[in-house]
Structure 1
Amino acid sequence: MLKIAYVGFGKSTNRYHLPYIQQRLDKFDVTRIYAPTLGKRPLDQAALEASGTRFTSDFTDILNDDALDLVVVVTPAPTHYQLVKQLLLAGQNVLVDKPMVTTIAELDDLLQIAKAQHCFLMPFQNRRFDSDYLTLQHVLQAGYVGRPVELELHMDHYRPTAGQLTGEQIDGTWYGHGVHLVDQIVGLFGRPEAATYDLRATRLTQATIEDQFEVNLHYANAFKATVQSTELAVTPYPKWRLVGTQGTFIKTTVDQQENDLKAGIMPGMAGFGLDAPQAYGHVTYYNQSGDRIEKDLPSIQGDYGRVYDNVYDVLVNGQTQLVTDEQMQTTIEILSRAFDEKGPHTEQLN
């Protein structure tokens, strides 16, 4: 059993991490939690303390705990780099919430320290286990649409009054939402040859931080993947739209895990994370006989806890980690190079 600690005890820790750990108590023991201010979530804290978890407001307690097998950093994004660096230098294995860093130089620094210290380091890319992503992956592997030509991936909301006037590069929508979308594309197709960027502030047009983006990732064989997000979509685009030489796949709705977690429906409960049949993706394609086929594809059930399954397999069984160093570097490079110049522009990545 791996002894783990959490750095941060806010919404994300309690919503996206601990509910999945509760389904894996044969593999993980939450022994410590660091929170700068204790008592902000008294009921959650009391429940964990009753099961043996020790809370602290002193970060050095985590740094100096040689009994820990893994530290999970779930704090605001601008704090990640310095916290993770301190943990790695202390010899701790680290799983860190997204985005891990702002620049490729920061990432390279952390990777070099992790290698020198023989430590595990990986971002918590839980959306590799979205049901819609897993279903799209199946469509590609099954060859329904033939050779992929164009893929659109959206993360749209309607939050018209939540615009932010100023902030750092890592605080914008591109890093906040784009890190998931880019990682999903890189996980499927690897490193693109070039990227074309269009980042804009649309709710507060005088803002210095973007809240909308459209980024095209260009690959060999005439393939293009577009990742896009807006906070002004009363009616959102389909989540996925894949066009190939033999067919098209469309998945309109998003994975249901987040909605269920917000509603208090937890992993392990009946129906958790399951799509209703009307939310299934739809594929239209031509088979080898030239027949036009249309059918709904039941969604493959997602499970964010599979990130932890991978961490366990890496640390205990020596298996390959879910997000490789090269994938981390590609994702952070794509994110950071959006700011090489202002306005729409293209960057060669090879």
Structure 2
Amino acid sequence: MKKLKIAYVGFGKSTNRYHIPYLQIRDNFEIARVVTPTLMKNPEAQLALEATGTRFSTDIQDIIQDTTIDLVIIVTPAKSHFALAKQLLQAGKNVLLDKPAVEKLSEMQELIALANAANLFFMPFQNRRFDSDFLTVKKVIETGYLGRVIDIQVHMDHFRPDETVVTGSNFDGAFYGHGVHLVDQMVSLFGSPEKVQYDIRSTRQPLSTLDDHFAVDLFYPDHLKASVHATELALVPYPKWLIQGTKGTFIKQEVDQQENDLKAGIMPGVSGFGEDSPQAYGHLTYLNQNGDRIEKYIPSELGDYGRIYDAAYETLVNGAEKLITDAQMLRVIDILEGGFKNG
């Protein structure tokens, strides 16, 4: 089995929480290099990797000049993504880019064109395609219990009141930060919407220039509406998922447990990691072929953010199609940017 040599640009919380723990239970990747502006900021994590042969430095040229690197993962603040990805693609490197990948559709178009012209791998790290709750929703829809889906809502709600006036660009707000996950999930399920309507606001402090609340409707053929929502002022949150179809309804209250486990120091590979308790299973109500009303709880699929790496491996080593297509990448950024074109 071929082992891919990878390098990280960035060694902060995201790299150490959402990336490396999943690689440590896979034997087809080797973390060869890490470039970070601040060495020994996380000495325990750095020393642990150095003990396995990973080389740390502060200069991205160390990655560019290393011809053994098969894939570079950029996990840095979002504003740096475009310039770093462009630099690496121009240097002939395959790139997996954390999200939100870029702010503008034109930037995504440029990166995709660079990658395709040089026959390079380029894809955003849309790990929430492998959320437990999303995988469960996908399975419920595919089984046909709901009939034709007519309305689907997904929420990313918190209660984090804050009266601080915050300023910044649209790229720093909730729609880019949270919406990139939810919009990508809808695009992966249903494709490109025919029309999009936006409600994007700053609700905690109306004088803020950064949005913290959005409700965005994506309209599809056959009168399907997919709605993505997030707020920081939901003391009692909405269900994570609410789906209505011509034959049934599916409601799931709870979010994927991977992030909670990671924050608690429970790592991938440990028994029970990311698993829902039965109390967190989604509730399905549907009419069977006899017209009988059936209610049951659907055991949650097991999420695994590391499957993004598995997909990248299959493309790079075995020539599989990319998990996230160029068309999907472009449409997601187009929808995000579109929320601010008339605002």
- Indicate yes or no: 2:318 matched with 1:317: yes
Residue-by-residue CA offset, 1:233-263 (whole Å, 9 max, x unaligned): 1111100000000010001000000000000
Give 1:9's aligned residue: 11
May I ask how many residue pairs the two structures share in their alignment?
Answer: 341
TM-score, normalised to structure 1, is: 0.96
- Indicate yes or no: 2:92 matched with 1:91: yes
Residue-by-residue CA offset, 1:287-323 (whole Å, 9 max, x unaligned): 1101000000000000000000000000000001111
5+ residue gaps in structure 2? none
* SS of residue matched to 2:322: coil
Give 1:273's aligned residue: 274
1:297-308 alignment to 2 at 5 Å? Answer: 297-308=298-309
Residue-by-residue CA offset, 1:36-94 (whole Å, 9 max, x unaligned): 11010001000000000000011111122111000000000110000000000000000
Give 1:216's aligned residue: 217
1:188-267 alignment to 2 at 5 Å? Answer: 188-267=189-268
Contact kept in structure 1, 2:193 and 2:220, CA below 8 Å: yes
Residue-by-residue CA offset, 1:201-255 (whole Å, 9 max, x unaligned): 0111101111100000001101000000001111111000000000100010000
CA 1:163/1:192 → structure 2, altered by over 3 Å: closer, same or farther? farther
Give 1:129's aligned residue: 130
Contact kept in structure 1, 2:97 and 2:125, CA below 8 Å: yes
Contact kept in structure 2, 1:160 and 1:203, CA below 8 Å: yes
The alpha-carbon deviation at position 164 of structure 1 amounts to 5.7
The alpha-carbon deviation at position 151 of structure 1 amounts to 0.3
Aligned mates of 1:163, 1:136 — CA distance in 2: 36
Letter in 2 for 1:23: I
CA 1:220/1:211 → structure 2, altered by over 3 Å: closer, same or farther? same
* SS of residue matched to 1:221: helix
Contact kept in structure 2, 1:7 and 1:33, CA below 8 Å: yes
Aligned mates of 1:143, 1:163 — CA distance in 2: 46
Residue-by-residue CA offset, 1:139-195 (whole Å, 9 max, x unaligned): 110001100000000000111128561111211000000000000000000000000
5+ residue gaps in structure 1? 343-350
- Indicate yes or no: 2:72 matched with 1:71: yes
Give 1:60's aligned residue: 61
Aligned mates of 1:215, 1:257 — CA distance in 2: 26
Contact kept in structure 2, 1:163 and 1:211, CA below 8 Å: no
* SS of residue matched to 1:215: strand
Contact kept in structure 1, 2:163 and 2:205, CA below 8 Å: no
Contact kept in structure 2, 1:145 and 1:245, CA below 8 Å: yes
Q: CA RMSD in A?
A: 0.8
* SS of residue matched to 1:71: strand
Q: Which moved more, 1:104-113 or 1:60-69?
A: 60-69
CA 1:265/1:80 → structure 2, altered by over 3 Å: closer, same or farther? same
Give 2:83's aligned residue: 82
Q: Which moved more, 1:288-297 or 1:60-69?
A: 60-69
Aligned mates of 2:278, 2:335 — CA distance in 1: 36
Aligned mates of 1:87, 1:65 — CA distance in 2: 12
Aligned mates of 2:209, 2:179 — CA distance in 1: 17
